[in-house]
Amino acid sequence: MSMSAGSATDASAVEIAGLHKWYGEFHVLSDINLKVGRGERIVICGPSGSGKSTLLRCINRLEDFQRGEIVVDGMVLTRDVRRVDAIRREVGMVFQHFNLFPHLTVLENCTLAPIQVQGMPKRKAEERAMHFLERVKIPEQAGKYPNQLSGGQQQRVAIARALCMSPKLMMFDEPTSALDPEMVKEVLDTMVALALDGMTMLVVTHEMTFARQVANRIVFMDAGQIIEVNEPAPFFARPQHERTKLFLSQILH
């Protein structure tokens, strides 16, 4: 399958316009404008505290924002609880610390939301969960509890759990940052496979190899602003902005 850039279709999966967010006096996000096309894979990088995670968390309203507009899959994100829930059903999220539910088995983690939120019959939800657990290559762990798995396995379960809701967009918030080095690859491989299947993805990560391999575009953020957006090859070869150059020189050796 082709992984070339520019496969985005005309309709956008996410449109962010003039987004501002403050924590008290602190301006965390400043005038963010970003369109994510369907099937597009965007990697967001930048120094810590630059607002990358906050931006993701605004899209499914884990965080509030004060000004601007976010449209997800044609739906304008408002404070209305039903609208927020409708958008969350379309957006899968994978967290840095996995956030699996420790009192439920792997299978139950994956079937909970389809049964409770989508009203899917239990049998069907389990079939679907097993399908995605096979996709992330751990069907044999279905009966175990999250604490019995390694970090890499837990993160793959978290990916399967999000996929079980058939999201139109998958967001990854530093999915490999909390992992031991030898487990990073298994999670990245899963994400690459997902990208090959054409999933729309927004990924906050420092894994530049992954960005080079998978992203259509790379967004560089610093101090709450988008500094530079470009396709991977020119982004790494000819960064335009000083801060981008500085960041890349620190992160690539």
Partner 1 sequence: MDAQTPTATAQSAAARAYVRAAPAPFMRPPPATVGPLGWIRASLFPSVGSGVLTVLVAALLVWIALPLIDFLIIDAVWTGSDREACLPTAERPVVGACWAYIGDRFAYIVYGSYPIAGRWRVDIFFAMLALGSAWLLWLEAPRRDIGSVYFFAFLPVASFVLLHGLEPIGLPVVDTALWGGMMVTIVVASVGIVVSLPIGVVLALGRRSQLPAVRLLSTLFIEFVRGVPLITVLFMASVMLPLFVPDSWSPDKLMRALVGVALFSAAYMAEVVRAGLQSMPKGQYEAAHALGLSYWQSQRLIILPQALKVTIPNIVNSYIALFKDTTLVFFVGIFDFLKTIEVARADPKWSTPVTSATGYIFAAVVYFVCCYAMSRYATGIEKRLSTGEKR
Sign of CA dihedral 161, 101, 123, 113: negative
User: Helix crossing, 122-135 with 106-116: angle to 10°?
Assistant: 130
Each residue 31-60 as x (binds partner 1 by CB under 8 A) or -, in order, gives -----------------------------x
**SS3 category, 203:** strand
Residue from 21, 52, 88, 243 binding partner 1 (CB under 8 A): 88
d(CA 157, CA 146): 8
According to the binding rule CB under 8 A, does residue 116 interact with partner 1? yes
According to the binding rule CB under 8 A, does residue 125 interact with partner 1? no
According to the binding rule CB under 8 A, does residue 62 interact with partner 1? yes
Strand partners, 37: 12
d(CA 116, CA 85): 13
According to the binding rule CB under 8 A, does residue 220 interact with partner 1? no
User: Helix crossing, 106-116 with 151-163: angle to 10°?
Assistant: 20
Give least dist CB 160 to partner 1, A: 12
Residue from 3, 67, 76, 101 binding partner 1 (CB under 8 A): 101
According to the binding rule CB under 8 A, does residue 102 interact with partner 1? yes
Give CA separation, 174 vs 4, 16, 54, 62, in Å: 24, 21, 12, 16
Residue from 125, 165, 219, 227 binding partner 1 (CB under 8 A): 165
Give least dist CB 63 to partner 1, A: 10
According to the binding rule CB under 8 A, does residue 147 interact with partner 1? yes
Residue from 52, 161, 217, 243 binding partner 1 (CB under 8 A): 161
Strand partners, 203: 43, 172
According to the binding rule CB under 8 A, does residue 71 interact with partner 1? no
Q: Are strands 75-76 and 169-173 parallel, antiparallel or unpaired?
A: unpaired
Start-end of H helices in 91-163: 106-116, 122-135, 151-163
According to the binding rule CB under 8 A, does residue 81 interact with partner 1? yes
Q: Which residues bind partner 1 (CB under 8 A)?
A: 60, 62, 81, 85, 88-89, 91-93, 95, 97, 99-103, 112-113, 116-117, 145, 147-148, 161-162, 165
